[in-house]
């Protein structure tokens, strides 16, 4: 049994006894992990060891080909059996494309459809999110006209506007050049941690892990994770 971190159940995001296998190969076994509000845990390990699969298990989007056991708790609620749209888990990928047929504002509105009541409230929340991302006045822009850093900030805002209870980051900085990577990384951590949500970051980059500033969990090749 591998235990990473504090007592199970104490965190805003908790995994209990997670085991994930596919075709006779065990990717994750006996994983207990608790991430507190405003804490970022970094998950590292070789390609193919199951990092993205574990995030998919948490988000509820894991392919049916995998055999998974264990529980996911968010804010103390067992969300293991819920469909992805009811889990309120935000996820950001390296290929997080904005919808090309929508404006920047339309992309942000997409995250709000159930949470904001009237049109005025939606517009106000979008304007506030754009201002927070230093993109005031960008609502009518075509996403294709944004820089890489601007696009990354809009993608984060879209994820946060949906009011997630936890944020999963799957190598979200990979496509950015070194300088932009540092800036976007700071932006993501600052704005996510400001909301006091737990973050689980997957990366191959030690500098990302250092910037995250929290515990680092290392998956071996099929072995249990090491803290």
Residue 122 near residue 109, CB atoms below 8 Å: yes
Smallest distance, Mg ion to C-beta of residue 59, A = 13
Pick what 137 binds: Mg ion, ligand ATP, none; C-beta below 5 to 8 Å, kind-dependent: none
Among 52, 94, 103, 174, binds ligand ATP (CB under 6 A): 52
Q: For residue 203, state whether it binds ligand ATP (rule: CB under 6 A).
A: no
User: In which residue are the tokens 């892990």 written?
Assistant: 209
Q: For residue 24, state whether it binds ligand ATP (rule: CB under 6 A).
A: no
3-state SS class at 60 = coil
Nearer Cβ to ligand ATP, position 27 or 126?
27
CA distance 122 to 125: 5
Q: For residue 26, state whether it binds ligand ATP (rule: CB under 6 A).
A: no
Tokens representing residue 146 in the block: 């944004």
Q: For residue 27, state whether it binds ligand ATP (rule: CB under 6 A).
A: yes
E runs forming strands in the chain: 2-5, 13-22, 25-35, 40-44, 67-74, 77-78, 89-93, 166-170, 199-202, 216-218
Q: For residue 63, state whether it binds ligand ATP (rule: CB under 6 A).
A: yes
- Segment contacting ligand ATP by CB under 6 A, of 51-59, 75-83, 148-156, 187-195: 51-59
Q: For residue 50, state whether it binds ligand ATP (rule: CB under 6 A).
A: yes
CA distance 111 to 54: 24
Among 1, 47, 140, 190, binds ligand ATP (CB under 6 A): 47
Smallest distance, Mg ion to C-beta of residue 170, A = 6
Smallest distance, ligand ATP to C-beta of residue 70, A = 16
Pick what 63 binds: ligand ATP, Mg ion, none; C-beta below 5 to 8 Å, kind-dependent: ligand ATP
Q: 175: which DSSP letter?
A: T
CA 83 remoteness from chain centre = 17
Smallest distance, ligand ATP to C-beta of residue 109, A = 31
CA of 204: how far to CAs of 32, 48, 49, 65, in Å?
Answer: 22, 12, 12, 25
Kind of pairing, strands 67-74 and 25-35?
unpaired
Q: 143: which DSSP letter?
A: G
Pick what 198 binds: ligand ATP, Mg ion, none; C-beta below 5 to 8 Å, kind-dependent: none
Q: For residue 34, state whether it binds ligand ATP (rule: CB under 6 A).
A: no
User: Please, which of residues 34-93 interact with Mg ion by CB under 5 A?
Assistant: 52
* Residues that bind Mg ion in the complex, under the rule CB under 5 A: 52
């Amino acid at each position: 049994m591998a235990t990473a971190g504090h007592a199970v159940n104490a965190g805003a995001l908790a995994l209990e006894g997670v085991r994930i296998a596919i075709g006779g190969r065990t990717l994750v076994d006996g994983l207990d992990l608790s991430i507190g509000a405003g804490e970022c845990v970094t998950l590292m390990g070789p390609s193919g060891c199951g990092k993205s699969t574990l995030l998919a298990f948490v988000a509820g989007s894991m392919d049916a080909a995998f055999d998974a056991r264990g529980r996911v708790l968010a804010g103390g609620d067992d969300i293991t059996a819920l469909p992805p749209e009811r889990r309120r888990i935000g996820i950001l990928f390296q290929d997080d494309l904005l919808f090309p047929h929508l404006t920047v504002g339309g992309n942000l509105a997409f995250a709000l459809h159930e949470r904001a009541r009237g049109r005025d409230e939606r517009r106000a929340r979008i304007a506030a999110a754009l201002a927070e991302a230093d993109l005031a006045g960008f609502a009518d822009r075509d996403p294709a006209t944004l820089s890489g850093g601007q696009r990354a900030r809009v993608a984060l805002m879209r994820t946060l506007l949906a009011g997630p209870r936890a944020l999963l980051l799957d190598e979200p900085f990979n496509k950015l050049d070194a300088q932009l990577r540092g800036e976007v990384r700071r932006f993501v951590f600052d704005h996510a941690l400001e909301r006091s949500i737990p973050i689980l970051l997957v990366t191959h980059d030690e500098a990302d892990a250092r910037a995250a500033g929290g515990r680092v969990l290392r998956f071996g090749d099929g072995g249990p994770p090491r803290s």
